[in-house]
């Protein structure tokens, strides 16, 4: 819905504040404020007490990996794994699953990111339009808006009986509204697909 641009009228306008504390020499945050065809901007490492005010729902962005790939995966992790400070050393952090210590990390090895969201409104009427639910979308409206736009653009499709569970129709939407990938990257960085390929190569 966000990629199509068809639902801007109903979009909940958000702003984010993102802040980082990390002494690692690698990692960063790349963002494309002028769209994927534009030039990127970058917050570079070390990211100690750095932050941005941004709108990440609509802006293409990516965090960059920090630390060597071999130290990003630990054995025995589960949904109840916890990371906490060592009571005997405030700069040592214990990654534990139950009583098992999966890893011991130093403060300088970690990246802390804090992320705040806030809804933004043009004025009081705009706020009431949202809070009073006077212009809410329905599932049927979303499907009809998509189908009307596909017809207008001359894209063929079979009208789905259940648009939210019809994989062929979902595929048509993905193809029609896929904006692609950024065309430019900051000097010294690579597209994410290349980074993943290098990190998983034998």
Residue ranges covered by each domain of the chain: 8-66+74-200
Contact 141, 149 (CB under 8 A): no
Which of 25, 15, 85, 83 minimizes the C-alpha distance to 51? 15
Q: Which tokens belong to 134?
A: 């006077």
Tens of pLDDT, residues 19-57: 999 988 888 899 999 988 999 999 998 999 999 999 888
Q: What is the pTM of this model?
A: 0.75
- Cα(123)–Cα(130) distance, integer angstroms: 11
Q: How far is CA 125 from CA 112, 128, 180, 198, in A?
A: 38, 5, 36, 52
How far out from the chain centre does Cα 91 lie?
Answer: 29
Mean pLDDT of 72-87: 92
- DSSP code of residue 159: P
Q: What gap in Å lies between CA 202 and CA 193, rounded to an integer? A: 16
Whether pLDDT at 17 is above 90:
yes
Q: Is 173 exposed, middle or buried (0-12, 13-18, 19+ CB in 10 A)?
A: buried
End-to-end alpha-carbon separation of the chain, Å? 38
| Phi then psi dihedrals of residue 165, to 5 deg | -135, 10
19 burial (CB, 10 Å; 0-12 / 13-18 / 19+) is middle
Which of 45-49, 110-114, 197-201 has the least mean pLDDT? 197-201
pLDDT at 183 over 50: yes
Structure tokens at 201: 């190569």
pLDDT the model gives residue 199: 47
Work out the angle between the directed axes of helices 167-177 and 139-152 (0-180°, nearest 10).
60
50-64, 140-154, 180-194, range with the lowest pLDDT: 180-194
């Amino acid at each position: 819905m966000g990629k199509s641009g068809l639902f801007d009228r109903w979009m909940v306008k958000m702003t984010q504040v993102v802040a980082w504390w990390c002494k690692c020499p690698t990692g960063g945050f790349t963002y494309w404020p002028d769209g994927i065809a534009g030039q990127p901007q970058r917050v570079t490492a070390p990211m100690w007490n750095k932050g941005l005010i941004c709108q990440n729902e609509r802006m293409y962005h990516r965090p960059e990996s920090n630390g060597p790939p071999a130290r990003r995966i630990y054995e025995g992790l589960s949904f109840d794994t916890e990371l906490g400070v060592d009571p005997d050393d405030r700069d040592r952090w214990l990654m534990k699953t139950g009583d098992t210590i999966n890893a011991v990390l130093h403060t300088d090895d970690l990246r802390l990111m804090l992320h705040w969201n806030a809804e933004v409104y043009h004025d009081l009427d705009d706020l009431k339009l949202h809070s009073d639910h006077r212009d809410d979308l329905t599932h049927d409206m979303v499907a009809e808006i998509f189908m009307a736009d596909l017809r207008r653009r001359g894209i063929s499709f079979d009208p789905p009986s259940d648009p939210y569970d019809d994989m062929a129709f979902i595929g048509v939407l993905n193809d029609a509204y896929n904006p692609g990938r950024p065309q430019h990257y900051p000097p010294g960085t690579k597209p994410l697909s290349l980074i993943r390929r290098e990190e998983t190569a034998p």
